[in-house]
Copies of this chain bind each other. A is one copy, B any other.
Amino acid sequence: MAEQAETLRRTPLSRDRILRAAVALADGAGIESLSMRNLAQELGVVPMALYKHVANKDELLDGMIDVVVGEIEPLTTGVGWQPAIRRRVLSARQVLRRHPWASLAIESRTMATPAVLGYLDSMIGALRAGGLSTDLTHHVMHAMGSRILGFSQELFDASRQAGRTGPAAPTPPASLPPEVAARFPHVAEIAEAASHDDGSVVRQGCDDQFEFEFALDLLLDGIERLRAQGWTSAR
């Protein structure tokens, strides 16, 4: 009877409630814990109940991606294209850091969800408004790749480790085991440099935010140079 009371009090299932529970589950327990069965249990319903609101697991993932993309700040108006794009990409990055599973999910899905298209559309609009030709804008969107959505596909990305959550741990380069350092001397050299370049003795690893902004600005500055030169693909 306590169960009956609980059932009565429980908010009825809805697509929205399912998506928010799924995002919370993936954030908290890792994407590998997100199964239809686990999610149903979390919501206190039978697994099959979910299928009334989402067609299948892929559609669930698409919906979760849309929730995440919806958390990204809108474009700032009244500034140049470069700071506007820069600010929004960095906002996207903050959002993706709150949902570490999302970047892999975005990559493995086909990517045609309305929220993602809307995001891309507004970014393209900002580039066009900044004076980039359709030609340049097109290639720029390709060149930015997933970085336009705030993630970078770094090869050593701690947040990518299965099930990890919370703020990323310092990345490997600092403090390589001696046998690894001997075998890969060039890796060891820059790891050494990275761990000392703030003068501190403590190992610090890499500053993810610095690295992201370095790459972002390398791209944005290069793009601005092409725009100013009137670059065209001239195919």
A residues near B, CB below 8 A?
104, 106-108, 110-112, 114, 116-118, 120-122, 124-125, 128, 134-135, 137-139, 141-143, 145-149, 151-156, 160-162, 172-173, 180, 183-187, 189-190, 192-194, 197-198, 206, 210-211, 214-215, 218-219, 221-223, 226, 233, 235
Question: Are the C-beta atoms of A160 and B218 separated by less than 8 Å?
Answer: no
Question: Are the C-beta atoms of B189 and A134 separated by less than 8 Å?
Answer: yes
Question: Are the C-beta atoms of B107 and A218 separated by less than 8 Å?
Answer: no
Question: Are the C-beta atoms of B233 and A223 separated by less than 8 Å?
Answer: no
Specify which chain B residues have a CB less than 8 angstroms from the CB of A146 in the assembled complex: 153-155
**Docked pose: A161 CA to B214 CA in angstroms:** 31
Identity of the chain B residue whose Cβ is nearest the Cβ of A193 in the assembled complex: B134
Specify which chain B residues have a CB less than 8 angstroms from the CB of A186 in the assembled complex: 121-122, 124-125, 128
**Docked pose: A225 CA to B161 CA in angstroms:** 34
For the complex of A and B, 3 pairs with smallest distance between CB atoms: A143-B215, A134-B193, A142-B211
Question: Are the C-beta atoms of B138 and A173 separated by less than 8 Å?
Answer: yes
CB contact between A189 and one of B124, B173, B210 (< 8 Å): that residue: B124
CB contact between A233 and one of B121, B162, B189, B197 (< 8 Å): that residue: B197
Question: Are the C-beta atoms of B190 and A124 separated by less than 8 Å?
Answer: yes
A-B CB contact pairs (8 Å), 26 listed: A104-B107, A106-B155, A107-B153, A107-B160, A111-B156, A111-B160, A117-B187, A118-B184, A120-B155, A121-B184, A121-B186, A122-B186, A124-B186, A134-B190, A138-B173, A138-B194, A138-B206, A141-B190, A142-B211, A143-B211, A145-B155, A145-B215, A148-B155, A151-B153, A218-B219, A222-B222
Question: Are the C-beta atoms of A187 and B120 separated by less than 8 Å?
Answer: yes
**Docked pose: A140 CA to B1 CA in angstroms:** 64
Specify which chain B residues have a CB less than 8 angstroms from the CB of A122 in the assembled complex: 186
Identity of the chain B residue whose Cβ is nearest the Cβ of A216 in the assembled complex: B143
Identity of the chain B residue whose Cβ is nearest the Cβ of A144 in the assembled complex: B215
If A152-B145, A160-B108, A218-B143 touch, whether A187 touches B124 (CB-CB below 8 Å) is yes
Question: Are the C-beta atoms of B128 and A206 separated by less than 8 Å?
Answer: no
**Docked pose: A211 CA to B128 CA in angstroms:** 19
Question: Are the C-beta atoms of B198 and A235 separated by less than 8 Å?
Answer: yes
Question: Are the C-beta atoms of A110 and B215 separated by less than 8 Å?
Answer: no
